[in-house]
Structure 1
Amino acid sequence: MPEMRFTIRWPDGGTEDCYSPSLVIKDHLEPGRSYPLAEFRDRSRAALSIASDRVLAKYGFPCSRALAQIGRIDAGCRQFEDTPDPQVGVLSFQE
């Protein structure tokens, strides 16, 4: 199963490298685009859940790294919930 990394920029300008065990993230996020915080959280959660389910179907267990990434993204999003018009940028994909 091809894994990939994707780099995001948080509303405060900080960047983070993220992990996906599947290329499905490409169906939900686009490099060079920014998303409202809630939309980014929902899109990344959907993609990483699908990716984890693919691992489950293939190997018989969910992907703990994808589930942990969902947790890190959720935690990051909580930090900016009170920021006016918070946007998360998707900087790049690395296969």
Structure 2
Amino acid sequence: MPYLIEILLPVTGKFASQALENVRSELTDLFGGVTVYANAPAEGLWRDGGDTERDRIVVVEVMTEEVDRPWWADYRKRLEKRLSQDEIVVRATTIDRL
């Protein structure tokens, strides 16, 4: 069953362009292709105590036939460390190719 893997990647500050290029290159090498929605970034908002925090979010997508959950969990942790983030969302959705 095919899957769409989406990474909600915060690209703020000095890491923005280089981090995005690294992720794009890594995923293209591993999965043969990647889609990056970078020209119309979303804005992520959340409450941290009494303050409202913000991130510029770029969605990075890959399609794959299987989900290697341990690999994706490790990759998410590496991205969190690399980008100094408490949490990065990586989600998988089954897809039906039409």
Alignment TM class, shorter chain as reference: 0.3 to 0.5
**TM superposition score normalised by structure 2:** 0.33
Higher relative helix content: 1
Considering only CA atoms, is the larger Rg found in Structure 1 or Structure 2?
2
Higher relative strand content: 2
